[in-house]
Amino acid sequence: MKKITTLFLTISVAAFALSLTGPGSEVLYGGLKPIGAIAFIAFFITNLLSKEVEAYDQEESAKMEPAKKCPEAQSKATGGRVPQHA
């Protein structure tokens, strides 16, 4: 998650900085500012949600921990058969 937020922030800052230069604004006709704005919005959203995603992952791993410790419950639930996956 940290890599994606860093990538969005880097793209945002680079696009905005390039849009302020003469060649950047002439060549891309103002396309860099919207790209920078979209990348900043994506950075902001991922930064806001990163703590929630981390808490959710910890909660789900805590729920799955008892199932990993007790394989007997899994075999009883399936009747001793091992499910075949395609």
- Reported as a single tens digit per residue, the pLDDT across 40-56 is 999 999 999 988 888 89
pLDDT, tens digit, 9 for 90 and up, residues 59-82: 888 888 877 776 665 556 566 565
Q: Which amino acid belongs to residue 50? A: S
Whole-prediction pTM value?
Answer: 0.63
Burial class of residue 28 (count of CB atoms within 10 Å of its CB; 0-12, 13-18, 19+): middle
25 CB-side CA count, 13 A:
7
